Every structure is written in C-alpha cells, then in structure tokens.
Structure 1
Amino acid sequence: MLWQMEVEVGLETLPQPQKDVYYAACLVADDKQLVHSDVVKHQPILALMSRPTFYRALKSLVEKNLLVHAGPHQDGRYFVKR
C-alpha cells in the first residue's frame, strides 16, 4: 500500500533520505501544507540523518517541486506538494 502511494505521488524513484525528509514534512505540515525546515529537521524519523544530508535532500525535493518555497529562500518555510 505504501509503495502504491509512493508511485501516485512520484516518490518511488527517490533515494531514502529524500523520502524520509518528505515524509517528515508531511507529518508536521499544517492545514495549509506549510512547514518550517527547523521543525522538519527535528522529527524522530530524521534523528540519525546528518545535517548536510538533510539539506541536500531538502534541496532536491525543492528541485523536484515536491516542496515549494513559501517565502524568501532563506526563511525556511515550504509548502508540501501532494
């Protein structure tokens, strides 16, 4: 079932760190699908992920349009695309 959901959203080809960051963002998104990178980074699913890996994964998700900047690029707010 999870794999089918990944296929529908387009996550099946992503490396695991990108999937984990996306899942963590989905878990903390508010009603408007807005998240802050600091909140995402501190989710238990990402506890063992290094800081550079987190930011590389975040950047890749933005490049793939799965996360979209919600303000100026440096403020850390993103919309989760589902």
Structure 2
Amino acid sequence: MLRVLITTMENDLGLDKLSGDERNLIYTMSALSSDGHENLRTEDMKKHPLCQNLSHPTFYRALRTLLDKGYVSRAGSRKTGTYSLHISKLGPMGNETQSRA
C-alpha cells in the first residue's frame, strides 16, 4: 500500500521519468535541504544512506543528468562541489513549467 502511494506521488511529480539512482539523489538532496542547508556539498550527499552505496561514476552520472534536466544547479564554482535542488521546476501532474532564464 505504501509503495503504491509513493509510486503515485512520483508519477504526479514527473519523477517516474528518472532512474532510481536519480530519484535517490533528489530524495537525498531534499532531506539535506530540509535540515536547513541550501547549498549542498557532494561529500554530504555521498554520505547519506540513500547514496552511500552508489559508485563514484554512478553518483556523478545521476548528478549530471539532474543538472541537465534542471532539477539541480551548481551553487558555486565547479571546484566547490556545491549544488542546489530546484524541484519546483515541476508543475502539477508532472508538467514542466517554464523555467526562468
């Protein structure tokens, strides 16, 4: 029952179009953001239980996909490894809203 609810919510938000690793990274960033962190470090994301078993290449591949799709943006220079979550780019029922340039 819980799994059906989660799947329905993912479908409504359009997250069903992402891989499991990409969804886990979004969930990790959301959890860390709710702890009051606006800019998230890759070091902290990799230590989170949902991401700690991801290989280095898989983690960065998922992060790159989320960057390309606009769910995530760099919060500093490439060397700082800090990112911000922008899940608000999705509208109701998974329809992408116009992104601001």
TM-score (norm 2): 0.71
1:12 alignment partner in structure 2 = 16
**What is the distance in 2 between the residues matched to 1:69 and 1:8?**
26
Unaligned segments of structure 2, at least 5 residues: 88-101
CA shift at 1:45, angstroms? 1.3
The structure that has the greater radius of gyration is: 2
CA shift at 1:42, angstroms? 0.7
1:57 alignment partner in structure 2 = 62
Answer yes or no: is 1:34 the counterpart of 2:17.
no
Q: CA RMSD in A?
A: 1.7
Residue 81 and residue 5 in structure 1: after superposition, are their counterparts in 2 closer, same or farther (change >3 A)?
farther
How many residues of Structure 1 are paired with residues of Structure 2 in the alignment?
A: 82
Alignment-mate amino acid for residue 43 of structure 1: H
Alignment-mate amino acid for residue 17 of structure 1: D
TM-score (norm 1): 0.84
Bigger proportion of residues as helix: 2
- Residues 28, 35 of structure 1: 8 Å contact kept: yes
Unaligned segments of structure 1, at least 5 residues: none
Residue 5 and residue 51 in structure 1: after superposition, are their counterparts in 2 closer, same or farther (change >3 A)?
same
* Aligned partner of residue 53 in structure 2, secondary structure: coil
Alignment-mate amino acid for residue 76 of structure 1: G
Residue 6 and residue 33 in structure 1: after superposition, are their counterparts in 2 closer, same or farther (change >3 A)?
farther
